[in-house]
Amino acid sequence: MNAPNIQFADLTRLVLPESIVLVGASEKPGSIGQRTLENLTVHSGWQGRLALVNPARQTIAGRACVPSVADLDYAPDVAILAVRADLVVDTLRLCGERGIRYAIVFSSGFGETGEAGRALEVRMREVVAETGLRIYGPNSPGLTNVNGRLGMSFSPAFKTDQRPGPIGVASQGGGLGRSFIQAMDRGVGTGLWFSGGNEVDLEVSDYIHYMADAPDIEVIVSVLEGVRDGPRFMAAALHAARRGKPVVALKVGKSDYGIKATQSHTAAISGSAEINSAVFKEVGVIEVDDVDQLIDTASMLARGKPTGRERIAVYCFSGGTAALASDQIGLGGLVMSEFAPQTRHALSQLLPDYAAIDNPVDVTAEVLVDPSLTYTALKTTAEDPNTDIVMVPIPVEYGQTTTLLGESMVRVQRDVKTPIVPIWMSDRTGEGHRHMIEGGLMPMRSVRNAVRAMRRYIEYGRWKAQRDPDWAPLGRNRQPASTATLSEVDAKFLLQRAGVAVPASRMAATPEDAARAFRELGGEAVAMKVVSATITHKSDVGGVQLGIRSAEQARAAHAQICEQVGRACGPGQVEGVLVEAMLTGPFVEVVVGIHRDPVFGHVCMFGLGGVSIELFKDVSRRLLPLTPQSARAMIAETRCSELLGGYRGRPACDVDALVDTLVKLSDFVVEHAHRIEELEINPLAVRPQGQGVMALDAVLSFQTTEKSTW
């Protein structure tokens, strides 16, 4: 489903090369070249062929060394560049010319430092274009393949990154990526970490696409400051979805402070936070707000395949904690399971009278001193046929009690499939905590964190279940350029041609025309508006009159509009006056806006008209093209849907017609996507069931450089 021009390189040999050349190898303790060599030879378990380049040495650490890449008698899969910034471009060119496929560039001093650095990056891209070499970095701490036990990294921390697993990470900066990696100490196995730095060539999207196909990776994590190429990112995300692998992302740059800090850090363009979030949601990227959420959500997803219908049991030895957990499950909009009769019966046989055998289960601390009982009670809960996740909040380190609980939990998890999710709430840790981590149970750190991770897990399941595999975003992104706006009459004409109802109307050149138009339009109320390509705010210049109820009034209004507009705007601006039938009967006013986002392409926004949209920001967004399903979902997401459903005795509105119209508007913009920058219908009147919808006003902006006809 990728657009034909979106290509992704196969990175298999970058991630696990058969041969590597380290340019800038060194013996000097603490130097980048020395640390990297140590990581490759001492802390890795890699058996490939390693060449070293250093013009000043013949051997390094007992290994042969050549003066230049040009002196190699074969082309290694990967070149690692641990050299000064000013040597990077020439070295890359040598690599490319030698037929090396990938270069990992540690060096900093490029785009992040200013103009001269950006010029070097342009030259690096020229090497890519001219030689076919693919560049990872620069300004990168390297590539860490934990599952393959290969650290192409200068980090002294690599040797401690020893917990392989099904999670793969693609980050831009290094700090937050490593922060995620260190969750290994909480039991989060992370098999692969791309830390792509300035991304002169390969970027986060490439790493996501690779991991979607990588057999050892099941969950993809990304930390990013800006999406450089929206369509590529969406294509990579949808590829992961097709492979059944969730993508969890932390995107920095949502507030003014964050955007400013991001720009000064990596010069990344943050884009609109609202659009980013809407796009992520639509292509199945699970967005989180902090590193701990990234860890918790990825952990959950590494433990099961959500369906979107998960019901939760709480198992605890503290009544207050059980109540807190239940409370947060409710506040988070999740569902607690109702135990089957056999579960209740079995628990009541096992546990003492004062224990709570309903969900939440409170076994009380007294019970947790009996190993067999502890095992059986938890297993019974986890085997309940109505339970899909067991949450075990543990408020305190409590010596023998929590040790036993940890052991039992690991044993039960070996015997039942239902994920058991411990929450270690205390800052004091002990044996029980260690058992969980070693047993692969990855404890969460607070009830709220756990509930949020579960919510994201379940929502992802729902997204998967509802996703349309044939849909792909239009992705016609473009930087804003010279635009113009159609007159209301022209815009409505196009809408009508696209199948969208607009009010019946007549153009009136003279007062007499206006009177005749009034009669032809059925003799009820009409609105009259000046028509002019140059006047945008018609009301401000006296160009609009509403609620005209007789031919006589229409005649007078025409004269008055022409006179007022002429006075305000000078002669020759008035093309005529539009006489338009006013809608009678009840209706709800909604707003539909489609605009071209410079990163992701056209996005549709929907919300309630009037003050609600501005006071309460109650809008939903979807990428084009809309489908009947996505249009219906975007209506349902807003509070507005309650009004449309027939609020407090009002008639239910024609939501089917609204869905149909949203799709028609989408189809219309898709057809003219090369030229339409923005289309806003405000208001779109949604009438009672069976009566349809009607666009009461419309504004259409288009790119003036596009010369073709509508």
- Does 328 sit near its own copies (CB under 8 A)? yes
Q: How far apart are CA 253 and CA 257, in angstroms?
A: 8
- Whichever of 156 and 480 has its CB closer to its own copies, that residue is 156
Q: Are 437 and 187 in contact (CB under 8 A)?
A: yes
**Residue linked to tokens 């009947």:** 628
Stretch that binds its own copies, among 53-61, 66-74, 355-363, 569-577 (CB under 8 A): 355-363
Least separation in angstroms between CB 237 and its own copies: 21
Least separation in angstroms between CB 295 and its own copies: 7
- Whichever of 79 and 252 has its CB closer to its own copies, that residue is 252
The DSSP symbol for 39 reads I
- Does 704 sit near its own copies (CB under 8 A)? no
- Whichever of 167 and 502 has its CB closer to its own copies, that residue is 167
Among 272, 403, 612, 701, binds its own copies (CB under 8 A): 612
Least separation in angstroms between CB 354 and its own copies: 6
- Does 277 sit near its own copies (CB under 8 A)? no
Among 113, 162, 348, 704, binds its own copies (CB under 8 A): 113
- Whichever of 487 and 612 has its CB closer to its own copies, that residue is 612
Among 203, 218, 292, 677, binds its own copies (CB under 8 A): 292
- Whichever of 4 and 649 has its CB closer to its own copies, that residue is 649
- CA trace torsion 272, 276, 277, 283 (10° rounding): 160
- CA trace torsion 441, 446, 451, 453 (10° rounding): -60
Q: How far apart are CA 355 and CA 315, in angstroms?
A: 11
Strand partners, 315: 361
Least separation in angstroms between CB 521 and its own copies: 26
Subset of residues 412 to 431 that bind its own copies, contact rule: CB under 8 A: 425-429
Among 37, 40, 60, 291, binds its own copies (CB under 8 A): 291
- Does 10 sit near its own copies (CB under 8 A)? no
Q: Are 125 and 92 in contact (CB under 8 A)?
A: no
Subset of residues 153 to 212 that bind its own copies, contact rule: CB under 8 A: 156-157, 160, 171-176, 178-179, 182-186, 188
Least separation in angstroms between CB 342 and its own copies: 21
- Does 357 sit near its own copies (CB under 8 A)? no
- Whichever of 258 and 688 has its CB closer to its own copies, that residue is 258
Least separation in angstroms between CB 360 and its own copies: 5
Task: Sheet with 505-508: list strands edge to edge.
Answer: 505-508, 576-581, 526-531, 544-548
The DSSP symbol for 688 reads B
Residues ≥6 apart with Cβ < 8 Å to 526: 517, 518, 548, 554, 579, 580, 581, 582
Among 63, 344, 448, 455, binds its own copies (CB under 8 A): 448
- CA trace torsion 462, 463, 464, 467 (10° rounding): 130
- Of the candidates 436, 445, 442, the one whose C-alpha atom is nearest the C-alpha of residue 412 is 436
Question: What would you report as the CA-atom Rg of the chain, rounded to the nearest whole angstrom?
Answer: 32
Q: How far apart are CA 647 and CA 653, in angstroms?
A: 10
- Whichever of 189 and 503 has its CB closer to its own copies, that residue is 189
Among 447, 502, 554, 655, binds its own copies (CB under 8 A): 447
Applying CB under 8 A, the site for its own copies has a residue count of: 91
Among 321, 337, 381, 701, binds its own copies (CB under 8 A): 321
Q: How far apart are CA 131 and CA 94, in angstroms?
A: 9
How many residues in the chain?
710
Q: Are 278 and 621 in contact (CB under 8 A)?
A: yes
- Does 445 sit near its own copies (CB under 8 A)? yes
- Whichever of 447 and 579 has its CB closer to its own copies, that residue is 447
Q: How far apart are CA 423 and CA 442, in angstroms?
A: 9
- Does 266 sit near its own copies (CB under 8 A)? yes
Helix (H) or strand (E) holding 557: helix 551-569
Tokens representing 360 are 């939440």
Binding mask 72-111 for its own copies (x = CB under 8 A): ------------------------------------xx--
- Whichever of 130 and 327 has its CB closer to its own copies, that residue is 327
- Does 255 sit near its own copies (CB under 8 A)? yes
- Does 386 sit near its own copies (CB under 8 A)? no
Beta-carbon count within 10 A of 193 CB: 27
